[in-house]
Structure 1
Amino acid sequence: MKERQRWQPEEDALLRAYVKQYGPREWNLISQRLPSALHRDPKSCLERWKNYLKPGIKKGSLSPEEQSLVISLQAKYGNKWKKIAAEVPGRTAKRLGKWWEVFKEKQLKHHSSPSQAGNYDHILDTFAEKYVQPKLAFPPPDPPANPAAVLPPWMNASPPTSEALPVREMGVLIRELEEGREVWARQRKEAAWRLKRLEQQLEAEKERRGREKAEEVEAKIRRLREEEAAYVSRMEGEYRERLGAVQREEEAKEAKLMEAWRSVHVRLEKLLAQIGSHRGGPPITAFLSQ
């Protein structure tokens, strides 16, 4: 496997320019624009931009305030560094994760050698608890020589043993226990019956609503069909009226044409009769009539 080479200042400058030109999303295109000698893949370009070159990223060691904030957030979220980095301005998840590993190793070394003093003595010994114990402004008071003297009398009294209880009281307790068990069994049985009753009512309600919905849909379908039939009958009536009007117009036109043809025929007959009378022969109308 080829050893990964460190990013050079010239590459960082080119990466900034390409991100400014193409935006922080086109990493395939940006990796193709970079010099091919170092083989910077899209993931490498993204990691370099996100962890080192992105505007607003803080470099250098964490301040004491940032360290305290990271410790408290790690106790709250665990090793979810992206979530922690969202609440630590300017720090990346990778940087915070590395700092935490170093800090944990130092704390483990400190607890293994008590002579060494650390800056975070207020952290509990168990990292699994992930809880930060605040420092006390004043040292705690010395414990009393006799702790029982501090407690109230009712707490100092030892609880009565089963042997000290009378037999009668033991019988009463057993009977009350049996009665409580019977009451609990009855309540459980009643609760199961009520639950079954509710399930049946729910099923019946579902069926009723389903029937109502089906009836509503059928009513809508019938109404739509009636509207469709009324619309079709209305359109048929309109078309019949239009067809009757067109037929009447055609009949009137045909009557006018017939009347015009008759008048022309009469005039033609008169003209031909006049022509035949001038020639002295039989009228042409006779030939026409034949």
Structure 2
Amino acid sequence: MKDLPVRHPARLGRPAKSWSESAMLSNLMSPLIDKCSIFNQPCILCGASDARGGLCGGCRDMLPTLPAERCPRCAEPTPGGACCGHCQRRAPAFDALHVPYLFGYPLNGLIYAFKYGRRLQLAGVLAGLLSDFARCQAPPYDLVIPVPLANERLAERGFNQSSELARAFAVTINSRFSDRMCWRKCNTLPQASLGRDERRRNVRHAFGVKRRCDGLCIAIIDDVATSGATLSSLALELKKQGAKRVDGWVLARAFSPKT
């Protein structure tokens, strides 16, 4: 999919009609596709037939959801939904983190197989889970972008898993998608092996933004968030370029013992 032009909504109006119509058509066709036997493949977890979007109802119910009471900024579970201590001491650059699931069994295995096992057939299943969540809760965004990979990591993996999620997300909410507006300047250390402060330092200057985005509301898409350092670093660069609001949307929230 080619980048769609970034336009200021107040000056240039709504997205092009052709894009709006394609997104609307996609949303209208989703229920029809789910009922079609050609697209209704067996459940990827248990093999049961009649699995909507690749997951049967039972396995979908097994996915570990986040507690309803969580920090409004970073989605950390907190008593009464209060702002967590981390965000009180050092608020992230993004305005809110939206996430439906915990990074736990069996979802963690699906994400790992997709991301590192090159099981690209899982892209539709995982994108569908995030899109289902966004369909009910996402506010309007002017632009949807994935967290970019470094060139070395992209060559090694062959694809950017965040782009697959972001494309489906953008269509679901009828927004514009771009995977070329931002880039990763260097191949940073894997975040999973680092503590919270190390994660923040690791990605402090990792991203660049190619053009101004004055007044835009932007959604950043990734597969998993732990400390939120990666999303915060990218959000900071977008706000330096004039973004009005930047939210993170991820499929799963992980919690590191080093945090």
Coarse TM-score class (shorter-chain normalised):
under 0.3
Decide which structure has the larger Cα Rg and report it.
Answer: 1
Q: Structure 1 length as normaliser, TM-score?
A: 0.19
Q: Identify the structure with the greater helix proportion.
A: 1
Query: Is the strand fraction higher in 1 or 2?
Result: 2
Larger RCO, structure (CA 8 Å, separation 6 or more): 2
